[in-house]
Structure 1
Amino acid sequence: SLNLCEPSGAGSVVGQRQKETMTDSSTNMRLKLPLICFILEIILIILFGVLVQYDHDTDARDFHNKSHHDYENDFYYRYPSFQDVHVMIFIGFGFLMTFLQRYGFSSVGFNFLIAAFALQWATLMQGFFHGMHGGKIHIGVESMINADFCTGSVLISFGAVLGKTSPVQLLVMALFEVTLFAVNEFILLSLLGTRDAGGSMTIHTFGAYFGLMVTRILYRPNLDKSKHKNCSVYHSDLFAMIGTIYLWMFWPSFNSAVTAHGDDQHRTALNTYYSLAACTLSTYAMSALTAHDGKLDMVHIQNAALAGGVAAGTAGEMMLTPFGSMIVGFLAGIISVLGYKYLSPVLEDKLKIQDTCGVHNLHGMPGVLGAVVGAVTASLATREVYGGGLDDVFPLVAEGKREASLQGGIQALSLAVTLGIALLGGLIVGFILKLPVFGAPPDTICFEDSIYWEVSSPPPRGEDMG
């Protein structure tokens, strides 16, 4: 369903359906969308007013209360990484999902909407668990990065339900998912002492399996009636490659954005850089190898080439070595392409999981691979290898409170916890999103911008399919 569209003479039928959607009251957002946007934003403003304040590096009085140079502010250490992550969230994820021939407005536009909401809600939810000081949530550039990370997880889930959901459904999904993400993150990072700098577990595995469960509950038995639009055309695949290249370029910043300053951040960026490069070559190789005519599939290149960044997320800050990073990326590219080629059709036919973007192949399986690599690497950590750096990467091991083997076990347990919360949370949220009040499109007119957007000039009859 992700390949280029076959030519079709169904233009007049599609045109008629588009006209019908114009007057369909169930998908009319005239009141539903303004109501939820205004209510959510007013609640956010009130909560920010009551609970949120600047942290030490952001507050004028606090920062100038001690003698230090202005350039020692955390802004100068973290803001370049933040901006890279921010570009990934709004351009990378947004354009990656523009491969659908008639869903470009929604891919970029709904991505924009739910990201803008999620980063505000994430600031509060993560603050409740991580950043409370004297009853207030202290925010600065690091909390902005963490909020974007949480938002990234929501956008991964968006990829699984792409084309089949209304903007109201997406905002409701974001509301619940951000909350569950913060709970899972708190359990892993604060209670268990898990290390997951680039979020193989907390971001990718959680977002993928949450989204897969949501899309399973929202299963559409007659989605084949929209199948002619669940595919790409030449220019839509080119737009999607813009998202891919942005994500690929900035992924080293994503994985290293909140690691400790110095060698940790340097090492994480380097490990991710080589993992992505190795992954890209194995992706091209597997794409040609799995095609009967040896031709490259744009779906594989757009997605599987990024799997190396996902798989390097947990172990990136560890002493994985450049050699180890390349092996991880190489394997990630292979399993991701195999997933797109062979596993996605099975998931749809047998398990009724209609995963529009194939997030299981880009984020799910590589996320699990990253978690496993992190567990193995953690269990092998020694003072001889890490020296004084052990205090940064594995503080509990450095303090003698935990053996390296136990840290590895905790890393593995964290994967199980993440999967459990994601699947159970996705199950519950999926049933909530099934409520008819949210204005989801019917099976016959999914993957179509004109349901929710003013589209200036519909294509001539007979040319709808590109």
Structure 2
Amino acid sequence: MTDAATNMRVKLPLICFILEIILIILFGVLVQYDMDTDSKEWHHMNHTDYHNDFYYRYPSFQDVHVMIFIGFGFLMTFLQRYGFSSVGFNFLIASFALQWATLMQGFFHGMHAGKIHIGVESMINADFCTGSVLISFGAVLGKTSPVQLLVMAMFEVTLFAVNEFIVLSVVGAKDAGGSMTIHTFGAYFGLTVTRILYRPNLDKSKHKNSSVYHSDLFAMIGTIYLWMFWPSFNSAITAHGDDQHRTAMNTYYSLAACTISSYAMSALVAHDGKLDMVHIQNAALAGGVAVGTAGEMMLTPFGSMIVGFLAGIIPVLGYKYLSPILEEKLKIQDTCGVHNLHGMPGVLGAIVGAITASLATKDIYGDGLADVFPDVSTGEVTASFQGSRQAISLAVTLGIALLGGLIVGFILKLPVFGAPSDALCFEDSIHWEVPGDEEGHDEQLTAVRTEEDEKLNS
């Protein structure tokens, strides 16, 4: 039995059973329904069903849930022989992360009388945290075992909850769409992890670290789902009414402008003027990332389109020029290019949020200033100080992501977690029962496994 087979036969069931049993016990001890969900509490408050938060939030939750499980999953199916793992491991780690996130976020935000109170909003927040983990998954895609991914998710969710609490509650920043807390954090955490897990001999799998016609088409399905539902993602936990309406609209126009500039830049940087599907799959989404922090602010449709236009240019330039430099000079093997889609646009979104916050006035927001910037509305802080809070939060997020990724990267290097060998990266058949579509490929894989086993035994 190969090391990869042992990893799947013994280690994966072991960690799955242990983690889920622990989760069940912790939920039994610590978690209970919130007021909108508990039958006794709800009827005691004499509310009508119409006032239940479920009716306001559940449509947004559905959209976010689709993004997490279909959008992110299919976006990563571009690798020619890693489609099962892209969708399958996305499914696995998301299912674990949303449960663990409910507990971790509850410890910091939702504990009352020693209990974590959960409802539809906590479900949305748990999905947001899961999204950050899946961004990091994109950086290490194809080079890690499912056991490594579950361990990474466990630590990252914990660090995400800590960073989110510091940024939103301690510093007092606003980040409704998660440009900082979700995208920047997930990207730079994942980039640091993949740097620590650097493989100098990854060229042994270079021929599989590429796409084919149908795999890029599947990845484009993920792009379209993410693109369509991103307005819901950014507006899911904003205040009801004009704030939520404005966030969805700002995201809508930012994405549209971003798509146009993505197509333009893709054709412009190509030597023959042909579009690159990798650019379109990723860069067209950057407008949703970049408008996340400022989405609920009075950014205006005009401002949203400028942000989206710039956000579409940055990832294309990143894929064309920056990614090869990061791999060659800094040894960062970023499989999905999360730095281009989530990292740089996330930083752009944080900067836009800081600038927009610093310009907030009563004349611009009216009574709505209390919803977006309550401290500015009451005179507790000035608008310029709120802008400083936003900038400080970006620095805090980058610091926790980089330091956390460094520590977790070294933990994941431990041999016990069963990382695939350099020659078997980006390959489904070491983890999955794959239909025998290529006899020659199966024979080649068997020969590689035999060679790897002989090296291990010697």
Common fold: TM-score over 0.5: yes
Please report how far the alpha carbon of residue 399 of structure 1 lies from its aligned counterpart in structure 2 after TM superposition: 1.1
Kindly indicate whether residue 55 of structure 2 is the aligned counterpart of residue 80 of structure 1.
no
1:158 and 1:69 map into 2 onto residues whose CA distance is 43
Unaligned runs of 5+ in 2: 445-458
The one-letter code matched in structure 2 to 1:285 is A
1:53 and 1:164 map into 2 onto residues whose CA distance is 38
The one-letter code matched in structure 2 to 1:426 is G
Unaligned runs of 5+ in 1: 1-21
CA contact (8 A) 1:27 1:452 kept: no
Corresponding residue of 1:384: 363
The one-letter code matched in structure 2 to 1:192 is V
The one-letter code matched in structure 1 to 2:38 is D
Corresponding residue of 1:359: 338
Q: Percent sequence identity over matched residues?
A: 86
SS of 2:284's equivalent in the other structure is: helix
Kindly indicate whether residue 385 of structure 2 is the aligned counterpart of residue 406 of structure 1.
yes
Map 1:142-291 onto structure 2 (within 5 A): 142-291=121-270
**Equivalent residue in structure 2 for 1:133, among 112, 130, 133:** 112
Map 1:420-459 onto structure 2 (within 5 A): 420-459=399-438
Closer, same or farther: CA 102–67 of 1 in aligned 2, 3 Å:
same
2:146 and 2:84 map into 1 onto residues whose CA distance is 12
2:441 and 2:365 map into 1 onto residues whose CA distance is 64
CA contact (8 A) 2:283 2:341 kept: yes
SS of 1:419's equivalent in the other structure is: helix
Please report how far the alpha carbon of residue 28 of structure 1 lies from its aligned counterpart in structure 2 after TM superposition: 3.1
Structure 1 segments of 4+ aligned residues over 2 angstroms from their partners: 22-28, 460-465
Please report how far the alpha carbon of residue 26 of structure 1 lies from its aligned counterpart in structure 2 after TM superposition: 7.0
1:336 and 1:322 map into 2 onto residues whose CA distance is 22
Kindly indicate whether residue 24 of structure 2 is the aligned counterpart of residue 45 of structure 1.
yes
Kindly indicate whether residue 379 of structure 2 is the aligned counterpart of residue 397 of structure 1.
no
CA contact (8 A) 2:436 2:442 kept: no
Corresponding residue of 1:110: 89
TM-score, normalized by length of structure 1? 0.94
1:368 and 1:23 map into 2 onto residues whose CA distance is 43
CA contact (8 A) 1:27 1:441 kept: no
The one-letter code matched in structure 2 to 1:140 is G
**Equivalent residue in structure 2 for 1:305, among 270, 279, 284:** 284
Task: Count residues with an aligned counterpart.
Answer: 444
Closer, same or farther: CA 290–464 of 1 in aligned 2, 3 Å:
farther
Please report how far the alpha carbon of residue 464 of structure 1 lies from its aligned counterpart in structure 2 after TM superposition: 11
Corresponding residue of 1:4: none
SS of 1:137's equivalent in the other structure is: strand
Could you say which structure has the higher helix fraction? 2
2:106 and 2:259 map into 1 onto residues whose CA distance is 37
Please report how far the alpha carbon of residue 355 of structure 1 lies from its aligned counterpart in structure 2 after TM superposition: 0.1
SS of 2:32's equivalent in the other structure is: strand
Corresponding residue of 2:98: 119
Closer, same or farther: CA 462–57 of 1 in aligned 2, 3 Å:
closer
1:464 and 1:183 map into 2 onto residues whose CA distance is 48
Closer, same or farther: CA 58–462 of 1 in aligned 2, 3 Å:
closer
TM-score, normalized by length of structure 2? 0.96
Please report how far the alpha carbon of residue 27 of structure 1 lies from its aligned counterpart in structure 2 after TM superposition: 5.5
Per-residue CA deviations over 1:290-333 (Å, capped at 9, x if unaligned) read: 00000000000000000000001000000000000000000000
